[in-house]
Structure 1
């Protein structure tokens, strides 16, 4: 039995040494090399996730759920910007105990005729990235969307700009690139403004920080198709987008939206007295 264990041990060592040789010799496919020693050009890039958030009853719940996801994403920097005149204690405490690498910003949004609710906050975060972030990838994240961890490893290898399908958006089950080959998009599944430069939801693309610095004046504008206009102003076209999501065959992000809370019995409970109404941060 001892001899068998020793034999098994040396077999494992030989396999490890052989794998190391293949990695160094650049013989294995790129997909395997990415899981090996990380020598591929882009697979170690930092992901800079930009999230605009605002005060509401479900804010802490939404941010807590998102934090629980981001805790499992390596080499991730969260830029959380509050739609507020000042940073709130609730968000400050959440970030401090999250264990994440983060930057906490605030900027008060103004009402936009287009209905875009977080225009100024996103642009303020973009300005911070241009001035402070190193080489990496920028991704815009709603605080109530749902993300598969695979999405982040997919976008990490973005060279210029990448796209993938998004579920539950645009009045569709799936919107965006749905037929791709060799990293290029062949078919876009959209029904609204089909002729947009790049018909994609905010959750469906990532851009390299180098591209942002090449276009220092480009920002989001007040328009219904602000994503497409933003990408177009960066000099991007449909055929320049790098297809992700296993050549657009997988959905790894869902545009879920938390329902507005309606605690309609709260006024009744408030009349029960102090014993029943201790303060809870929710």
Structure 2
């Protein structure tokens, strides 16, 4: 190889190396851009929690929390508060079911960014079974079809012989102590505990004698087979999967939804009292006050209403 050819060869190699270096630089810039976009979507704490959730602890039963939700002014606020609690629970799978004909952008985007492992479902309650604007909360059962479709998803997607877990009905407006999830995780059949601020009482609770449930502390129809709130029990996953007849029904007397489900699974003697023999309240049936937005209408009349593109 003469000097001219050698110079050409070296020049060619230099150009090739420069091109490779540029490609690497572009890839590095793209990675930095993706990292920035990720940080926009998730707070640092949510990212760390997401990594924690993805690394499930072997042999620790998974909690499948079923949450019906419906569109209203406080929906995103409720789901945000709830998800911030759930982020602290290991081996957790959140099943969120919208009462809607189609999945809404609000809930879809919220779940995508919440940092939890989740399943997003939807089914609409028939209009004649929906609560109207001025109806009291107790007039019609809520979340019936939504809970049932979540149970169907569990039965369709989980293997009864290979999956250890617990099913819990976690409404989006309740308040939960993290200790509750530790209590329910060891459920063998159906575990129970008190619920605070429910039934127009300070709390409702199973009555426990010598470690066994013998009755119910409640004002409303204590003769019900399982006279407790939806937030007051958890079900062993395998027990639920093995009993496909266990579902909720729209047409049941007021206060009998829990009994309608549990009668297919256990008797009172089978119940497992938790929370120190039902002496501690670890969940509260709270309700967010309906916001008064009368000034929105006043501003709308002047053409100065709030920006509808800002999601609340």
TM > 0.5 fold call: yes
TM-score (norm 2): 0.72
Q: Which runs of structure 2 are paired with 1:1-282 in the superposition (5 Å)?
A: 44-110=60-126, 111-112=128-129, 115-133=140-158, 134-182=163-211, 184-222=212-250, 223=252, 224=254, 225-234=256-265, 236-273=266-303, 277=307, 279-282=309-312
Counterpart of 2:20 in structure 1 is none
Given that 2:79 and 2:172 are in contact with CA atoms closer than 8 Å, whether structure 1 keeps it comes out as yes
Q: What displacement does 1:213 show?
A: 2.1
Root mean square deviation, CA, Å: 2.0
Q: Please list the CA deviations of residues 150-190 of structure 1 after superposition, one character each: whole Å capped at 9, or x if unmatched.
A: 001100000111000001111211102144543x2245201
Q: What displacement does 1:240 show?
A: 0.7
For 1:81 and 1:226, the matched residues in 2 are separated by 18
Given that 2:183 and 2:275 are in contact with CA atoms closer than 8 Å, whether structure 1 keeps it comes out as yes
For 1:227 and 1:94, the matched residues in 2 are separated by 29
Q: How many residues align?
A: 240
For 1:161 and 1:93, the matched residues in 2 are separated by 34
Q: Please list the CA deviations of residues 197-243 of structure 1 after superposition, one character each: whole Å capped at 9, or x if unmatched.
A: 11111000000111112211221012221101210122x11111000
Structure 1: give runs of 5+ residues left out of the alignment. Answer: 1-37
Structure 2: give runs of 5+ residues left out of the alignment. Answer: 1-56, 131-138
Over alpha carbons, which structure has the higher Rg? Answer: 2
Note closer, same or farther for the CA distance 1:213–1:275 as it changes in structure 2 (3 Å cut). closer
User: What secondary structure does 2:63 align onto?
Assistant: strand
